Structure 1
């Protein structure tokens, strides 16, 4: 599958970029729909995105380059070649979270509300973005005999270096899509969730799924007995559980209240 979707004069538009931008647009749209319910405006969302999106891309690339420094030290000219793939979602999440904390503080907005607004869209964007990995033939697992349970176009694209590969990109995409459907179905049920728990659900759901799926991949950096992303997944789950328990013990108000 050609990673270049089409040409605009001298510019090559890649499927990888289309997947990322599509996910971002849908995430913004979802956040703008939810914002008025939490006392925020569309301008708050757009102003945040204008700052957070480029910062998140830099964070995602920086994370990837740092943990693959042996390669980039020998090929410094490729450090900025983000169009070839090679961004790490955890780098984007860390950079985006820092932006969110600073932005909500400067605007005097409730950080939990902002996280709750953003989390479902982030989950959907990740589900879409993983298909950029599919086109670039990256983020896959070990060699296996066949993928005959999948559509032909996926089988062909996952035939890499003479073998079919475990399509971990697909597993993570479907896991995130399922999480998105669940949280969108539950978040407006009166008194079910507390403020912040949409975000904590994302932390727990994504962390659990990523921990398992990351263990299937063959391109991950190890740190002791686990991969770096697995350690970060554990942290994400622990933070999500701890914050949810803390909020309920301290009487955090419901996420959604009928008016």
Structure 2
């Protein structure tokens, strides 16, 4: 683990640094892909910036939803926990201070789609170019998770042991499966596959749905190897597993409908 490093007397988050690198690499890849296909890369820069707002909002909102127990506790005895504006801010930071990838993904998708629709861009064509960039960014994000110690795996005879992590004491002195590195690897493979499909010009208008379909399977199964159980469970499944099932079904139905329409148009 390497959660922080000191620079000019200040502690810098390693997760933030790695994620920032991921953002730049992802943006460069998407803009280059757009220019190769005759699109204005400036349009994609704006789309990414708008989507980033949705990512930030969505990731924190979904995290807050997973902490519904804290929301109920706050509302049931509001006066006890909130006696000043500062107390209210601290409560909101506790409830919404974390982030959930799926919330960010859905928030970014919604913000990007709204902007594209308003600008009358072809969402299917634009999303094809953006699709490989999502797992590419996620690859860096999960590397950052590994350095930071978050999103950690279950106790395991195979893995790594952390000592003295002041930010996440729950990972200390327990050997854990490196689920962050496993998911990072799978995201990198998914990026390579999607980038290859984009370069070959196959499955046009379907690449983002293919991404959602594939990642939902990855996420559903790697959740069984996650050790951070505080993120919420329903019917024995984690919040992310439930979202994975919904995304898998929706993506599969969308792709089936799309393929049927393509065949009808060819006949």
Task: Indicate if the aligned counterparts of 1:139 and 1:217 stay in contact, CA closer than 8 A.
Answer: yes
The partner residue of 1:184 within 192, 195, 201 is: 195
The partner residue of 2:224 within 206, 209, 215 is: 215
Matching residue of 1:66 = 65
**Structure 1 pair 78/42, CA: closer, same or farther in 2 (3 Å)?**
farther
**Bigger CA radius of gyration:** 2
Task: Indicate if the aligned counterparts of 1:22 and 1:128 stay in contact, CA closer than 8 A.
Answer: yes
Task: Indicate if the aligned counterparts of 1:38 and 1:113 stay in contact, CA closer than 8 A.
Answer: no
Query: Mapping of 1:95-244 within 5 angstroms?
Result: 95-147=107-159, 155-157=160-162, 160-190=171-201, 193-218=202-227, 219=229, 220-244=231-255
**Distance in 2 of aligned mates of 1:204 and 1:2:** 33
**Structure 1 pair 144/194, CA: closer, same or farther in 2 (3 Å)?**
closer
Task: Indicate if the aligned counterparts of 1:100 and 1:111 stay in contact, CA closer than 8 A.
Answer: no
**Distance in 2 of aligned mates of 1:79 and 1:117:** 36
Mark the runs of 5 or more structure 1 residues left unpaired by the alignment: 148-154, 253-259
**Distance in 2 of aligned mates of 1:81 and 1:226:** 24
**Distance in 2 of aligned mates of 1:17 and 1:78:** 23
**Distance in 2 of aligned mates of 1:50 and 1:186:** 25
Q: Tell me the TM-score normalised to structure 1 length.
A: 0.82
**Distance in 2 of aligned mates of 1:69 and 1:91:** 15
Task: Indicate if the aligned counterparts of 2:152 and 2:171 stay in contact, CA closer than 8 A.
Answer: no
Which SS does the other structure have where 1:138 is aligned? coil
Mark the runs of 5 or more structure 2 residues left unpaired by the alignment: 75-80, 82-86, 164-169
Matching residue of 2:90 = 77
**Distance in 2 of aligned mates of 1:196 and 1:230:** 26
Does residue 259 of structure 2 align to residue 248 of structure 1? yes
Task: Indicate if the aligned counterparts of 1:130 and 1:173 stay in contact, CA closer than 8 A.
Answer: yes
Taking only aligned residues, the RMSD between alpha carbons, in angstroms, comes to 2.6
Once the 2 structures are TM-superposed, how far is the Cα of residue 136 of structure 1 from its aligned partner? 2.2
Matching residue of 2:15 = 16
Which SS does the other structure have where 2:12 is aligned? strand
Answer 1 or 2: which has greater helix percent: 2
Which SS does the other structure have where 1:55 is aligned? helix
**Distance in 1 of aligned mates of 2:34 and 2:233:** 39
Once the 2 structures are TM-superposed, how far is the Cα of residue 195 of structure 1 from its aligned partner? 2.1
Which SS does the other structure have where 2:18 is aligned? helix
Q: Tell me the TM-score normalised to structure 2 length.
A: 0.80
> Which is worse superposed, 122-131 or 12-21?
12-21
**Distance in 2 of aligned mates of 1:20 and 1:77:** 25
**Distance in 2 of aligned mates of 1:239 and 1:17:** 32
Matching residue of 1:3 = 3
